[in-house]
Amino acid sequence: MDEIADNSLTVNGERLWATLDRSSEIGAAPNGGLNRLALTDEDKEMRDQFRAWAETDGYSVTVDRLGNMFVRRGGMEPGLAPVIIGSHLDSQVNGGRFDGILGVLAGLEVLRSLDDAGIATRRAIEVVNWSNEESVRFHRATLFGSMAFAGQAVVEDVLASTDDDGLTVGAELARIGYAGPSPVGGRVIDANFELHIEQGSKLEAAGIPVGIVTGGCPTALFQIEVAGENAHIGPTPMARRRNALVGASEIVVLLNEIGWRHADTESRATATNIDLMPNKFGIIPHLAKLTVDMRHPDPDVLEAMKAAFVSGIDAAAERSRCTIKAENHLNLGGLTFDTELVDLLRETAARIGAPAMDLLSMAAHDAYAISTIAPAAMIFTPCKDGVTHNEAEDIDPASTLPGVNVLLNAALSRAQR
């Protein structure tokens, strides 16, 4: 095995961009973005392309029962736990070309760069495409690839979850040929790296290309059910109405106000979807369901936001004459990534001369789940204007490649451990 030079290795930026350009063709949306929802034909085509690239370069590809794909560049000591570089190749509805995708293709580029440099590593490095990170298609199945791998979701439950057309994850995996034979999870991992676009504008504003993600922003999710009563809008007096849309609107306005109270300290309070029944003109809806999401870097402030929200619900119920149930069904984030890996990323950035700053992740990522079973850390790279989950999402090589080089050199360090 060659000793690593003091000078850093660098990836081949043109080759990385060629893979990104090819990916951008698969499921291309009308305005430059992607529609490549999990387990669709487009997802299958991208998976096939990723597999073809990997096999052409001589890496092994395994697929587990939930369609998670593991592209492995073997190590000299096969008994050692591998280093993992993982993210996702699926997109949002009218999503961007880089959210998740950059992390997987940067991982592939790391493997290729090690080949170019003729470097054999002690540990294997595996690049992972986690299934369904975006969680927009299937009900009750969020980030299911990484979460089930980490034991945070039950494989059989995930396989049975359905989309709006009643199609199950299991049937769709089988249909696209990615219901793999490997068990989900149960493996020892030495380190998990994830590189991702920032999906914010702090790096861009600071003019710094590399974000060292120290942890995740505390996040609270509530499921809201507003129960009203069907009635005809003409004859039914205001005082006899129980309009679930009014109750839901009161909740959204309340939530937005709570978000603004702490806006100067990076609060988020959001509702983005509403399921209204029957959602027809002229008939007062009897039921509205929505999901409420609150985030704040300071867990105490988040608790205060949650309390303000819960205490405002009664007034919203009274004004709308509806019954409103709010269940805080999920709390995410609030995690600190592995100190040793975060330090390694900082040291690597310093060593290769890449300007870097610490950041907190405001969004959930696959690394959140993996951090519960293995040392994990993340690298953020800038995205133009902070725009994401939008077809206009954009990045450029000059501000992206420093982060990919940190990934390469940090993964290499860890793989030689």
Footprint of a copy of itself on 209-248 (CB under 8 A): 217, 219, 229-241, 243, 245-246, 248
> To the nearest whole angstrom, how small is the minimum distance from the Cβ of residue 213 to a copy of itself?
12
Q: One symbol per residue from 303 to 332: x for binding a copy of itself (CB under 8 A), - otherwise; what is it?
A: ----------------xx------------
Binder among 109, 194, 198, 366 for a copy of itself (CB under 8 A) = 198
- Interface with a copy of itself in residues 66-125 (CB under 8 A): 92-95, 99
Binder among 40, 146, 161, 249 for a copy of itself (CB under 8 A) = 249
**Residues for the chain: how many in total?**
417
What's the token pair of residue 152?
């945070």
The strand ranges marked E within 124-249 are 125-129, 191-197, 210-216, 219-227
- What CA–CA distance (Å, rounded) separates 196 from 104? 9
**Cα 367 versus chain centre, distance:** 8
Q: Total binding residues for a copy of itself by CB under 8 A?
A: 73
> To the nearest whole angstrom, how small is the minimum distance from the Cβ of residue 66 to a copy of itself?
20
Binder among 205, 253, 315, 398 for a copy of itself (CB under 8 A) = 253
Q: Does 60 bind a copy of itself (CB under 8 A)?
A: no
Determine phi and psi for 215, rounding to 5 degrees. Answer: 180, -170
- Interface with a copy of itself in residues 348-377 (CB under 8 A): 361-364
Binder among 131, 192, 388, 409 for a copy of itself (CB under 8 A) = 388
> To the nearest whole angstrom, how small is the minimum distance from the Cβ of residue 176 to a copy of itself?
21
Which residues, other chains included, contact 367 with Cβ-Cβ below 8 Å and sequence gap of 6+? 86, 146, 192, 193, 194, 337, 376, 377, 378
Binder among 102, 274, 349, 373 for a copy of itself (CB under 8 A) = 274
Q: Does 140 bind a copy of itself (CB under 8 A)?
A: no
The DSSP line for 154-176 is -HHHHHH-B-TTS-BHHHHHHHH
Q: Does 256 bind a copy of itself (CB under 8 A)?
A: yes
- Report whether 332 contacts 146 (CB < 8 A): no
Binder among 16, 226, 252, 324 for a copy of itself (CB under 8 A) = 252
User: By C-beta, is 378 or 410 nearer to a copy of itself?
Assistant: 378
Which residues, other chains included, contact 405 with Cβ-Cβ below 8 Å and sequence gap of 6+? 8, 9, 10, 11, 352, 354
Would strands 323-332 and 219-227 be described as parallel, antiparallel, or unpaired?
Answer: antiparallel
